[in-house]
A and B are shown apart, each in its own frame.
Chain A
Amino acid sequence: MRARAALVAATLALAGCTATAPEPTPTAAGTLTGTVTVFAAASLTDSFAAIADAFTAEHPNVEVTVNFGGSSGLATQIVEGAPADVFAAASLATMTTVTDAGLAPDTHDFATNTLEIAVPTDNPGGVTGLADFAKPDLAIALCAVEVPCGAAAAKALDAAGIVASVDTYEQDVKAVLTKIEVGEVDAGLVYRTDVLAAGTKVKGIEFPEASGAVARYPIAALTGSVNPDAAAAFVAFVLSDAGQTILREAGFGAP
Chain B
Amino acid sequence: MRRSFLTPALWIPAGLAIALLGLPLVALIVRAPWAQLPELLSRTEVLQALGLSLATASIATLVSLVLGIPLALVLARSADWPAVPRRLLRALVTVPLVLPPVVGGVALLLLLGRRGLIGQFLPFQIPFSTTAVVIAQVFVAMPFLVLAVEGAVRASDRRFETAAATLGATRWTILRRVTLPLVAPGVSAGALLCFTRALGEFGATITFAGSFPGVTQTLPIATYLELQRDPDAAIALSLTLMVVSVAVLVTLRDRWVPGLTS
Seen from chain A, the residues whose Cβ lies within 8 Å of a Cβ on chain B are 70, 72-73, 76, 139, 141, 144-147, 166-171, 175, 178-179, 182-184
Contact = CB atoms under 8 A, between A and B. Distances in A.
| Chain A contact residues: helix, strand, loop or mixed | loop
Closest 8 CB pairs of A and B: A168-B210, A72-B228, A146-B229, A146-B228, A167-B128, A146-B225, A183-B115, A144-B225
Contact of A144 (B106, B113, B207, B211): B211
Interface residues of B, number: 26
B225 to A, nearest CB: 4
A182 B115 contact: yes
Interface in B34-92: none
A182 B110 contact: yes
A145 B213 CA distance: 12
Contact of A170 (B127, B210, B229, B231): B210
B107 to A, nearest CB: 11
8 contacts: A70-B228, A73-B227, A139-B125, A147-B225, A171-B228, A175-B206, A178-B106, A183-B114
Contacts of B213: 169
Contacts of A171: 206, 211, 221, 224-225, 228
Contacts of B226: 146
B196 interface: no
B115 A170 contact: no
Interface of B: 106, 109-110, 113-115, 125, 127-128, 206-207, 209-213, 216-217, 221, 224-229, 231
Given A166-B212, A167-B210, 16 more contacts: A72-B229, A73-B227, A73-B228, A144-B225, A144-B228, A146-B228, A168-B128, A168-B212, A169-B217, A171-B228, A175-B206, A175-B207, A178-B106, A184-B113, A184-B114, A184-B127
Given A175-B206, A183-B115, A184-B114, A168 B225 contact: no
Nearest to A140: B128
B208 to A, nearest CB: 9
A70 B234 CA distance: 16
A170 B115 CA distance: 20
Contacts of B211: 144, 168-171
A139 B125 CA distance: 10
A178 B115 CA distance: 13
